Structure 1
Amino acid sequence: MAQLFFLYGAMSSGKTIEILKDAHNYEAQGRKIALLTSGVDNRNGVGTIASRIGMERKAVPIDAEMDVFAYIKKINAEDQARGDGPIACVLVDEAQFLERHHVMECAKIVDELGIPVMTFGLKNDFQNNLFEGSKNLLIFADKITEIKTICHYCGRKATMNLRIHNGLPVYEGDQVKIGGDESYHPVCRFHYFHPEQIR
């Protein structure tokens, strides 16, 4: 039975590697996928899923107005009309940037089209507030899985994202500031509040 999955983790937890691996595994078995990502993340160009270790793939960017359900329903019908197989899975990267209607559309893909949807993203922002997409995925996802990583400072489990500017922690500012290792460190709760202390 199809389900809506939310796989979340702190920065540098390997979420992008995981989605690219899952995409590869489906395609290696001859199954069709739909690969999407938020249009907000433009670090490597809009519509590019790129990991820190150099793997990347083009994907369909999701903008604020996009109806994800209508898009998947249309391309799935077109594929089947050509004699291709149906979409076996929808994979969505940077899911924290989704809006509530996008999450509801993903749920509708599962419930009405019977296609599993796997979403990958951050849970909380640098101030430890939930992102809009993450909040709604925590409500509506059938299965929620944490992708674990370690604290930048001590090696314990990282659960938070510390924003860094010129080597110093930042605790105020806009929720969305696109960046990678130069801008964010995955941290444990202690080092979120005390990044200067070695433990």
Structure 2
Amino acid sequence: MLKPSIAKNDRLANWLIGIFSLVVFIVVVVLGKFKLDVELGFDVHVFATINAFVNASIAVVLVAALVAVKKKNYELHKKFMMTALVLSILFLLSYIAHHLLAGEAKYGDSNHDGIVDEAEKLAVGAMRIVYLVILITHIILAAIILPFILFTAYRGLTSEFPAHKKLARITWPLWFYVAVTGPVVYFMISPYYN
């Protein structure tokens, strides 16, 4: 097993993780309601493409981390998990940039008027329901996963491995689901970007 990378201070960790998670949630929700009307000279949906690529990369890194820990290569596992955390920060920045610059697209809105009328709903059929189920589960889990990720990382970095393993059994599959469904949502919604 690995030695602690940080000193154990549960009280401080609880406060920092709680405050950081709340601030990120508020920033994403609040900034999601705004759209900056600026011309940057390039297609702002490049950020959505970056988001999908980063999410897919996170999924791959999470699988690699799982394989490493199953093989008891704890140092490699730690490196993969820290990589997944850094990629998640990059994703968050790109996600905020995309939503601030591009606004919201609606699945099925083929004429890009911001309204999905009955004819457009008929055109996409049941795939709209599939999309909405994937999107809603993705959003809900993305909103609640951050503190779990941070607490799991904290337990690992303080070498509290039984607690780390217990949390990771919940955190890993949820984080993996969010990472996999991110690109799925992107590929489904990207035809409706204007």
TM over 0.5: no
Measured against the shorter chain, the TM-score band is under 0.3
Which of structures 1 and 2 has the bigger CA Rg? 2
Higher strand residue share: 1
Greater RCO (Cα-Cα under 8 Å, separation 6 or more): 2
- TM-score (ref. length: structure 1): 0.25
Higher helix residue share: 2
